[in-house]
Structure formats: C-alpha cells, structure tokens
Amino acid sequence: MDRLLIVRHGESEWNAVRRLQGHADINLSPRGREQALALRATVQALAPDFVATSDLQRARDTAGLLGFEGAEPLARLREHDVGHWTGRAIPDLQAECGDDYANWRAGALTPPGGESWAEFRNRAKCAVSDLAGKVSGTLLVVAHGGVVRALLEGFLDIAPHRIIPVGTASLTVLRCRGGSLTNMRLELFNYNPAGPVFDAPD
C-alpha cells in the first residue's frame, strides 16, 4: 500500500441528533446520503485499488454511494464500542458526567460495558495493516469517526485528545513513504467538498 484513504460515513439518523452510536446499526439520514454523493467524484478521482468498509449499514451505504457497492465489509472496522453509552444523547452525557466524557474522548476512560481505547485502536490498526499487505497501490477504508482517530494515533502517534471529530462524509489521506506502514505522513485531513467542518458530532 502506498496511500490510505479514510472516509467517515455520511451523517446518520443519530448523528443528526447527536446520539452516540458505537456498534448500533443506524441508517444514514437523507442529508448523509447527499453528503456521500457530494464526495463521490473526489474519491473516484483518487482511484482506489481496493475498498473495505465497516460492516455497519451506515458505512456500507456510504461506500455504495461513493460507487463501491462491492466493498469488503469487515467487523474490525466498526466504530468504538461505547457499551452502556450507546444511544445516549451527547449533551446529556456531558451534563451528567462531563469529566468522564472528556476523558473518553481523550482515550483515557472506558465507557461502562464498552471497549477500551487501546483495544479499539489496535483493532482498527490491525485491520488496516492486514489489508495493506494485499494492496500495492491505494486502499480506501469507509468507516467511522473513531476509526479515523484510532488510525491517526496508530500510524502517526497523534493522541486522540489532539484530534477534532472529523466531519461526516469527510476524507482523510495518509501516504506510506516507501510503502512502509512505519513511515507514514498525513496528506489530507477532514476534507469536505462543502467546506471545513469544525463541530462534527462524535
């Protein structure tokens, strides 16, 4: 692999009302479908050689709208499992347990019944590392906001508390210098055809 394209799925029905999804299988909103279609030309122009997607429907539908209906679905590319926080409104969590929520976003706290940040980061990184061994050119991964943060830490050592939530249907690109996964650099972050998004939902 010489280039990794990472797309966060389009806005889901729960993103629209700022509820945490984790492994819940929530559909795209109409706006999310429009967002994915708006990103399609950009991703198509980058001509990925192989496409993988989280097996959750919002990511699979985004891959299809980008023109990759045959993308390989992988459970290891799912979002961070937030356990008992699944379905909770983010403003409610912040009001009830603000420090815990902030610490979770920083990768320092495991939600009750959920997955630790280290487990999640390693899961996502291992999934992409395995895929990279099968691809000589460009790999496209369609997944989730947490997966973007996990891969940026896993491959670039950027701590999660230093990364804003990327926008829905946004594109982030990493380049492998010399094809080495230990020698990667950030080429593009949080690209959205409609302009920058600085307040995206988790």
The domain locations on the chain are 8-36+55-140+157-183
Spot the catalytic one: 23, 79, 115, 153: 79
* Burial label, 75 (beta-carbon count in 10 A; 0-12, 13-18, 19+): exposed
Which residues are 74's β-sheet partners?
A: 54
Is 103 labeled as ligand-binding?
no
Which residues are 129's β-sheet partners?
A: none
Per-residue pLDDT tens listing for the chain (202 residues) = 999 999 999 999 999 999 999 999 999 999 999 999 999 999 999 999 999 999 999 999 999 999 999 999 999 999 999 999 999 999 999 999 879 999 999 999 999 999 999 999 999 999 999 999 999 999 999 999 999 999 999 999 999 999 999 999 999 999 998 878 999 999 999 999 999 899 898 8
Torsions phi, psi of 195, nearest 5?
Answer: 120, 170
DSSP state of 52: E
Q: How far apart are CA 157 and CA 148, in angstroms?
A: 13
Domain 8-36+55-140+157-183 has CATH 3.40.50.1240: yes
Is 23 labeled as ligand-binding?
no
Is 14 labeled as ligand-binding?
yes
pLDDT at 42: 98
